[in-house]
Structure formats: structure tokens, C-alpha cells
Amino acid sequence: MKKLSLATIITVLAVMVLFIWAAYIAGVASASTGGSDAFFLNQLGQVRSQPSPDLIRKAMNMLETEYYKPLDDATKEKMMYGAVEGLVSVLREEPYNDNFTHFYDPELYADLQAQTTGEYAGVGILMGISADGMYPEVNSVFADTPAEEAGMLEADIITQVDGESTFGMILPEVATRIKGETGTSVHLAVFRPLENEYLEFDLMRQDVHFSSVSDVGLDDQKVGFIRINNFAEQTGSDFRAALEDLLAQDMQSLVIDLRNNSGGLFQAAIDVANCFVKDSEVIVRIYDRDAALSTTEDDGIAIDADPDFKKYEIPLVVLINENSASASEILVGALKDHGLAKVVGEKSFGKGVIQAVNPMDYVTEEFVNKEGEEYKQKVAHTALALTIGKYFTPDRHDIHMRGIEPNIWYTVDNRLATEPTLIELDKQIKAKIDELRMLRTELSRYLRENDSVRDLGVETAAKLAKGLEVKDVPKLEPEVEEPAPLAAADLAEDLEGDNGEDSTSGEEQ
């Protein structure tokens, strides 16, 4: 086993990023922004897994010269991005089964940079998925932002962005629609479950600076609480500052909330782990291409705790759920294996691979410095997230596609069995399911016993026999009502299943 100093590790793995689960879902999308043939071929040439540049070049040439309509620049760029995505999509198949190597088009790359730097132009909210899995829900509202000033609250459900429904829309797409240029406005329609009312907000986008560390507090029992929403550049320093603040208030134990934290920067997870893992003990084990080709099982890189970091000895509890992934699992794995924390909740997602973000091309953009002087600078425009290694916990547990099990299991089922309010709500839901099933049965019986289509056919035929004119009737287009936020998706699935149709729900992000 090779052991390297942390400084060396930082140098080697400076660009390593463990990506969020929502970004994995969005990675299959394509965007369009302007480009050229030369750039297309140059871009593809940078992908080392490219099977045949001649084949791609020939296809592009034929499309440009023989397709019956001329290709505009936007179409060519979509083809560029689609070609690169096509190359890496093959890795999702056997024997690689890699769902995490993917291409970042300009919009997705901009979102990634915003997540990792904590800076973007928007309204100041962090989103998750609503309980029914159909709408974006506000997880956090950042201080001193347009969203906070307008009165948006945690648990608000965003039903529309600029008049367009968000029902079933993936989170990265919602985020892209809410973000925009500083000084522009966005209209959000919101459902607030706690007050059972719909609200509308017109928010002016501004430059937002946020910390991934939030909900810092201390209760009457001197138990501290810190939530880490994702792992960004400043997470380590922000977490340490929050820790020091709570200790100054005589904190006796700490709860770290990693629920719905689907990852972020590799180094940020190491920085937080360095607060607790003792000097020179292993935080995580990395197995890269060299280790994969080696016949020695112990080959790889052991990333040890840095003795230059101050260590804190305090009773720890870590909260996780099925959406705790990637960098979150590095931290959880280290704390659990070394016996430094009790893990509470449900099994984590199970993403044990590492990606490096490789810029694919650059564009020249104009900026203004503090003195008001304009200048131009090349910035990365697109990138390829390439899986470059796999990681194991300090005790060599392979968590990829397996997840990390908590010490203390506590799921929704536990709550449904113990909390009186939820028990009563569950009873009401089951009663509604029975009522809906009975109504569906009655509807089906009526349709079978009353064949109005047949009756209309007979009536029409009788008119034709008498030589009467029968006018065509256009299709009736009823108004489609949007499902209410937090609609019981399980009820709809139950009814579909009762009708003999496939009731499998879509993939959750």
C-alpha cells in the first residue's frame, strides 16, 4: 500500500470531484450555444476513449454536405455535445456499468461551478424533491437573498417557474430556469403545505454567496447541530468555524446532518473528516487505474489524516438517508470505521467512485474589475467528468452500489409505527385509497353496462339510413388539471395497478 502525504494527495487529486445524484440524472441532457467544425473535431480529439475519429469526421462531413437542410451553428453544437455524450454513454453498459462518467455542456458546467464555489446569480434557495417526488421543494433559504426578503420559507413547493409547470421536472432543469443574469427577474408560483395556500413571488436575481454549512444551533441539553448541504470549496473552513462557535457555547455532543447531501468536492469531505480522525489514521482508500491493473490487492493510495489539523474529541452522531451519497459517504465511512460516530437513519446511496473534471474547451469572456476596467479572460466552457478511481472506507469496505448501513436504523416505517400524528394520517390515507378504489370499480362497472359509443354508432347509422346529414364532431379537449403538490402518488399507482397496468414509478433523483 502506497502512503502519501496530504500535500501530495491534494496535488494529485486537485480536480477530483464526487458528483451529486441530481447531476447524474442531468448529465444525459444536451444544450446548445454556437460552435464550429474545427472546434468539434478538436473537442472530440481530447476524449481519450474516442473509438474512431475518422468515422465521426465522415459522419459530420456527410451531414454538412448531403443533409437536405443546411445545418446552422446551434445544430452543429448540439451534434458536438451529442457525439461526446455518445462516446461516454457506452461506459454505462457491461462490463463498466459506469453511470457517472458524463459530459457537462455549458449550462450543466456552470451549475457545477456554482455548487462547488458557492457563488451564482439567482434567488438564494437550495432545493430538494417533494415528498411525492414530483415537485422541487425548498430545503433552505439563504440569508440576505431575494428569496428571504420576499418571504419564501423552507418546505415551500415550487409549482411553476415563469408560468411553466415544474411537475416532474428534474432539479437541474428547475435550477437552470430559476438562475439567470443579475438584475433580471423570475416569477415563482409556490404551494405552502403548512398553511395550505398558494403564493406567488416576483424575485430579482442577484449574485448569491452561500455556505454549504447551515442550521447551526445548540439545544438545552448542550447538543449541537450542523447540517452540511453539499461539499463545496469553503465547507471545511465553514464547518470548523461552526464547530468552534458551538464549543465556545459549551457544546457537549454534536449531530451532523448529511441527509439529502449527495456529494460535492472530494477535498471538502477530507477537510471535515480531518476535524475528527486522529493523526495518520486512514480517512479513505483510493484505487485508481494503476491499482486496477495491478495483481497486488493492497495497491492504491491511502489518504491519511493530516496532523497539522486541530482534532476535536466529542461524541458524534451522523444522520444519513438514501440520498446521502459520494463525498458524504467518504465522511460517514471514516467516522463509522474509526468508531468516532453513531450513524442514525437509513442506508446511504452507495456511490464509491471518483470523477475528475477535465475542461474540454475554453471561451473568451469579458469581465469588469474592481476599478471598473474591462478585461477579457479565457474560461472553461464544457467539461468531461471522467471516472478515474474507486474508493473504499478505511476498513476496506466497498460501498459502491451497496451504501453504508447506519448503526441505528430509523426510517419512515419507524415513524409510522410510533408517532401518533403519522399513524392517524396513515389511517386516513388508507381509507381514501379504499374509497378511491370503490369509486374506480363503480366507474368501470358503469362503463361496461352503458355502452354509449355503441348507442351513438346505432343512432348515427339510423340517421344515415334516412338520408339525414350527420355532421363531424371534433375531438373534445378537456382542460387538463395539474396534479396538486404533494398529491398522493401512491394512490395513483394503486389505481393503475388495480387496472392491470404497469404501476412502476420513475427513477428518483
One domain, residues 398 and 266: yes
What is the torsional sign of CA 407, 411, 414, 415? Answer: positive
Domain boundary among the residues 209, 227, 253 is at: 209
Classify 362 as helix, strand or coil. Answer: strand
Whether residue 159 is contained in a domain is answered as yes
What would the DSSP string read from start to end of 300-316? SEEEEPPTTSPP----E
Using the structure block, give the residue that is written with the C-alpha cell 478515474. Answer: 388
Contact, 342 vs 256, CB < 8 A?
A: no
One domain, residues 309 and 164: no
Average pLDDT over residues 128-157: 86
What would the DSSP string read from start to end of 178-226? H--STT-EEEEEEEETTTTEEEEEEEE-EEEE--SEEEEEE-TT-EEEE
Q: What is the mean pLDDT of the chain?
A: 81
For residue 393, what is its C-alpha cell? 472506507
List the one residue out of 109, 88, 108, 110 whose CA is nearest residue 99. 88
Where residue 238 sits, what CATH number does that domain have? 3.90.226.10
**For 13-71, how does the pLDDT look when each residue is reduced to its tens digit (9 = 90+)?**
333 333 333 333 333 333 333 333 333 334 433 443 444 557 888 898 899 999 999 99
pLDDT at 292: 60
What would the DSSP string read from start to end of 461-481? HHHHHTT------PPP-PPPP
What is the torsional sign of CA 347, 352, 354, 355? Answer: negative
Model confidence at 212, pLDDT cuts 50, 70, 90, reads confident
One domain, residues 201 and 223: no
pLDDT at 213: 92
- Residues making up the chain, counted from first to last: 509
State how far the alpha carbon of 356 is from the alpha carbons of 88, 182, 236, 359, 384, in Å.
14, 30, 20, 10, 8
Q: Report the half-sphere exposure of 72 (CA within 13 A, side-chain side).
A: 4
One domain, residues 134 and 269: no
Residue 102, exposed/middle/buried by CB under 10 A (0-12, 13-18, 19+)? buried
CA 365 to chain CA mean position, Å:
28
One domain, residues 158 and 279: no
One domain, residues 234 and 341: yes
Q: Give the Cα separation of 218 and 213 in Å (integer).
A: 15
One domain, residues 232 and 343: yes
For residue 375, what is its C-alpha cell? 478585461
List the one residue out of 78, 90, 7 whose CA is nearest residue 40. 78
Whether residue 11 is contained in a domain is answered as no
Whether residue 127 is contained in a domain is answered as yes
One domain, residues 189 and 258: no
User: Which letter does DSSP use for residue 389 in this model?
Assistant: E
Whether residue 434 is contained in a domain is answered as yes
Whether the pTM exceeds 0.75: the reply is no
Contact, 161 vs 188, CB < 8 A?
A: yes
Taking phi first (over 0 means left), then psi (-120 to 50 degrees means alpha), and beta for anything else, what does residue 100 get?
alpha
Average pLDDT over residues 399-407: 95
Classify 328 as helix, strand or coil. Answer: helix
The one-letter amino acid at 337: D
Alpha helix stretches (DSSP H) within 67-202: 73-89, 106-117, 146-150, 171-178
**For 472-493, how does the pLDDT look when each residue is reduced to its tens digit (9 = 90+)?**
999 888 776 666 665 433 333 3
Whether residue 236 is contained in a domain is answered as yes
Domain boundary among the residues 160, 185, 209 is at: 209
Q: Give the Cα separation of 416 and 303 in Å (integer).
A: 41
Domain boundary among the residues 179, 209, 239 is at: 209
Whether residue 69 is contained in a domain is answered as no
Catalytic residues: 326, 337, 351
Percent of the chain with pLDDT over 70: 81
One domain, residues 252 and 314: yes
pLDDT at 119: 66
One domain, residues 313 and 227: yes
Where residue 194 sits, what CATH number does that domain have? 2.30.42.10
One domain, residues 127 and 170: yes
142 vs 29, higher pLDDT: 142
Q: Give the Cα separation of 302 and 8 in Å (integer).
A: 12
pLDDT at 90: 93
Whether residue 368 is contained in a domain is answered as no
29 vs 77, higher pLDDT: 77
Residue 480, exposed/middle/buried by CB under 10 A (0-12, 13-18, 19+)? exposed
pLDDT at 260: 83
Q: Give the Cα separation of 285 and 390 in Å (integer).
A: 8
Contact, 337 vs 397, CB < 8 A?
A: yes
* Domain housing 431: 412-469+485-509
List the one residue out of 421, 412, 402 whose CA is nearest residue 490. 412
One domain, residues 227 and 343: yes
Q: Give the Cα separation of 261 and 273 in Å (integer).
A: 15
Q: Give the Cα separation of 183 and 124 in Å (integer).
A: 14
Contact, 249 vs 217, CB < 8 A?
A: no
Element of type H or E holding 493 = helix 489-498
Q: Does residue 396 register a pLDDT over 80? A: yes
pLDDT at 11: 38
Whether residue 286 is contained in a domain is answered as yes
**For 308-348, how does the pLDDT look when each residue is reduced to its tens digit (9 = 90+)?**
999 999 999 999 998 899 999 999 999 999 999 999 999 99
**Number of folded domains that form the chain:** 3
List the one residue out of 70, 69, 64, 77 whose CA is nearest residue 34. 77
Using the structure block, give the residue that is written with the C-alpha cell 455524450. Answer: 85
What would the DSSP string read from start to end of 268-283? HHHHHHTTTSPTT-EE
**For 312-322, how does the pLDDT look when each residue is reduced to its tens digit (9 = 90+)?**
999 999 999 98
